[in-house]
Amino acid sequence: MSTPGRTVIAGGGPGGMLLAYLLARAGLPVTLAERHQDFDRDFRGDSLHPWTLELLDRLGLAERLLEQPHVKARQFRLRTPKGLITTSDYGLLDTPYDYVALMPQAWFLDFLAAEAEALPSFELRTGAAVNGLLGSDPVRGVTLRSGEEIDAELVVAADGRYSRIRALAGAKAESQGATTDLLWFALPRHDDDPPDADVDLYFGTRHYVGTLGGPGRWQVGLSLPKGGYPALRDAGVDYVRREVAERVPWLADRVDLLTDMNETTLLSVDISRVPVWHRPGLLMLGDAAHVISPVGGNGILMACQDALAAANHLVPALRAGTPGSEALAAVQADRESAIVTVQAQQVRVEQTAARARERGKPVAPPGFLRLLTRIPAVRKRSARRNGYGPEPVHPSPELERALDLRPTPVHA
């Protein structure tokens, strides 16, 4: 067996950081290059699903991570003009992690980075923006903006929806048809706020509003038609406050804390994917390979499942030498069907919302959903599908041995 070469992972988001940890824990040399100086910035995905928490538990990390402040969301609910619909009830799942843990993504990344830095084969490079690739067929490393070159047996692009490496490799993400953008901002959380509103969507004519709970704050998202931000900006912050107060009355006592449109962030919703996620010496994962809509909170879950699928194939391949095209293609083969399924569902939701806006009707789910979701088994099935993804990823036996994982949890 040859001496394993280095893997360079560009991007310290959940997928890149988790893959770096898994490779390093398997004893493989890995450098993670993160273009920012730290992880202390405002992300729009703070959801750790049951699958993610179970994997962290098997790695011996969940208990320490959950010592940090977090909120346990046990239901996903839709509030429509005709009433409340609870689509997913995580409390029905047979797992110790029968909830979605909501904590700032920066805390999760800081935690994983600290755990990885305790491993001798891991190197974290912050302020290290990749602006070039070494070689092309195969890729043999990266060039940083500083001019430094890092040789590698494998480069992994985990650098997000605007992936620099994807562009350098000449790959293009193909749109699947998003029709909505989101205006995001934060409001303080009060002790007497509804205790079960942590993952709720509030529907109405023109817009819907999403609330995402967290320690000490709410993240609030106001939907708007794709490309509709200039009109919303012209309408001004008063319009945003009125729309939120109308949809979510219990936030009306604090919407005046939003004083300027500069306190909001436009999130241009994208649903897209790259046809081929790999080149010789290069693998794309997470948003670099496929962009998931933030509605539903699946982004971290999909990225972490990408990371585990990649580790299943890369650990034995890297131990043997340089991962060939077969190993890289196997990662996409394992994950593509799940991504296509999730994105297709998101596109259907987008198209339904667009048709409702065009007709001037409430942007809301179909009425039969209320009847269907009264059945506990339906809410449980939805929770399981959302909490574990359409095709959950499991560690391979070789990876289990390499990482000395705890036994597989049993759940229904």
Look at residue 412 in the predicted model and tell me its pLDDT.
Answer: 41
Asked if residue 138 has a cis previous peptide bond (ω within 30° of 0), the answer is: yes
Look at residue 45 in the predicted model and tell me its pLDDT.
Answer: 67
Residue 156 sits in the same domain as residue 303: yes
Look at residue 42 in the predicted model and tell me its pLDDT.
Answer: 61
- Of 215, 250, 267, which closes a domain? 267
- Of 238, 267, 296, which closes a domain? 267
Contacts of 50 (CB under 8 A, 6+ apart): 90, 93, 95, 97, 98, 99, 100, 387, 388
What is the CATH classification number for the domain harbouring 189? Answer: 3.30.9.10
Cα(294)–Cα(184) distance, rounded to whole angstroms?
A: 11
Provide the domain limits for residue 239: 180-225+227-267
Cα(284)–Cα(159) distance, rounded to whole angstroms?
A: 9
pTM for the model: 0.93
Query: 401 — alpha (psi -120 to 50), left (phi > 0) or beta?
Result: alpha
**3 secondary structure, DSSP code:** P
Residue 162 sits in the same domain as residue 193: no
**74 secondary structure, DSSP code:** -
- Identify the CA nearest to 267 among candidates 295, 242, 239: 295
Q: Rounded to 5 degrees, what are φ and ψ at 234?
A: -65, -35
Look at residue 233 in the predicted model and tell me its pLDDT.
Answer: 93
Residue 106 sits in the same domain as residue 23: yes
Residue 157 contacts residue 163 (beta carbons within 8 Å): yes
Cα(6)–Cα(1) distance, rounded to whole angstroms?
A: 15
Cα(215)–Cα(194) distance, rounded to whole angstroms?
A: 14
- Name the stretches of the chain with pLDDT < 50: 1-2, 412
Look at residue 240 in the predicted model and tell me its pLDDT.
Answer: 96
Please tell me the total count of domains within the chain: 2
Tokens of 235: 């309408």
Look at residue 387 in the predicted model and tell me its pLDDT.
Answer: 96
Residue 58 sits in the same domain as residue 27: yes
Cα(243)–Cα(264) distance, rounded to whole angstroms?
A: 14
Look at residue 314 in the predicted model and tell me its pLDDT.
Answer: 98
What tens digit of pLDDT does each residue of 35-87 get?
Answer: 998 877 665 668 999 999 999 999 999 999 999 999 999 999 988 888 888 99
Cα(185)–Cα(134) distance, rounded to whole angstroms?
A: 40
**Please, which residues bridge with residue 100 across strands?**
73
Residue 122 sits in the same domain as residue 21: yes
Amino acid identity for residue 326 in this structure: E
